[in-house]
Structure 1
Amino acid sequence: MTQTAYRAQLLTFREDPAHAADGAVYEADGLLIVEDGKVVAAGAYASIRDKLSPDATVHTMRDKLIVPGFIDSHIHYPQTDMIASPAPGLLPWLNTYTFPTERGFENPQISRETASFFIDELLACGTTTALVYCTVHKQSADAFFTESEARNTRMIAGKVLMDRNCPEFLRDTAQSGYDDSEELIARWHGRGRQHYALTPRFAPTSTEAQLEACGVLAQKHQDVFIQSHVAENTDEIKWVESLFPGHRSYLDIYDHYNLLRRRAV
């Protein structure tokens, strides 16, 4: 096996440093050894240099710091071109900027070009894994996973489910959302570093039938992720309460449809 090694400063984490005094591990003179694209050893140079093979290529960069790739646990790739658009609140922001922008992702070329730029920007910031929202269009998810696979990044993403309280041009149905998600799971989940997330946008934009169908998929595919939004502002919370009477809380709605479990974010 071909070895490539990097002699540099190393920073990694064995636990959350906010809760463990020794959670962060720093090596001023560290060594990272890679074989066939995978890290096989990392630590103090003096303690693991004997693991280097005679023909290893060693890159010396003592003034550099090597860290694990960052993880972004919530991001929307279709919103790349409208970040920081001003609005008085969440709901007018969706109607004024987000929904019109997402309409364009019906076009596979727009999806591919945006996904390509988006992932390159993540990598430029050191982010190698993200939990990503696509649009309601199946092709937006296909484009995103295709670009991620080409770069060998680990991404978790899903087609948005949205069958009410949104423009007609962004609306699916409980059945089409189920079918599209099932197809995308079969094509992408567990393929290399790609993983699928069932993605009801948020409770107000899904009917009870759609949330129920999403729950069925979640039960059927126990290892897929689930992502949604909850309680971002008071107007939204009041709206949800009127749409789903009888629930103990906003979060209880997701629980009712079996959407709270491991891998749900």
Structure 2
Amino acid sequence: MSALTVQRSSVPVVPTDQASTVVQLIALVGRSLRTTARVPQLLMFSLTMPLAMLVLFSQVFRSVEAAPDFPAGVAYIDFITPAMLAVATVMAGTNVGVAAAIDHTNGLHDRFRTLAMPRALPGIARTINEVLFTIARAVLLVGAAALLLGFRFHGDALDAASALVVLVALAGAMSALFGRIGDHLRRPDVVQFAGMMLMMPLMFVSSAFAPLDTMPRWMRVLANGNPVSHATDALRGAVLGTSTGGDVLTAALAAAVMWAVVVAVPARRR
């Protein structure tokens, strides 16, 4: 009896709740990645659409370069590329909302509620999935812009790291926003339209495509409260080598405030 007691006491005690939560999160992230990979068309468009838009906007709006309020000595391709990083992150957020709606349509969330796991875990897994694809899109977009359009990164390694922090923060905020929309609307087609209606002002009422000084006063007021504007300014500063810690902090805080507001919205109950 004593030998058996000693043998049992030698087995390490693992905190089951924490361990199971980590295992569940890894499984959900793996599921999100596999689900995305199983639709190669969606994967291809989500990675290449920002590049197509970069080519289009860099040619159509390049006359903005001649405006008196445009930064002196800055090529428009260097001005627009960091903006497209932010815009692509906003656009991809709708995929999170659609994925959440599909999970509700398939009854997967109902099954999740029967499991002993935190209710926020599926949303966290979708956010991690989106962060990984945000980094992949950024590498593809910057590489293609440098090879095909003459884009140049004027910053240093610290600027590149700060840009990555801003992108990750923005991706988290957009994932939370569109994911909550998907959780509330629960129809993929409706989520797509709702996401488009929200995505357009986030993209265009910002400093992404033109300096704020060229906009009407009322639009400047809205743009100054837009997290995409702050993310764009911080990314642009990193690209041009003029970024400051204040720019990065402001962008990260703006994204964090959006995330906190979205998370504070009560989840829809059946």
TM-score range, shorter-chain basis?
A: under 0.3
- The structure showing larger relative contact order (alpha-carbon pairs under 8 Å, at least 6 residues apart) is 2
Larger relative strand fraction:
1
Give the TM-score, by structure 1 length.
Answer: 0.26
Larger relative helix fraction:
2
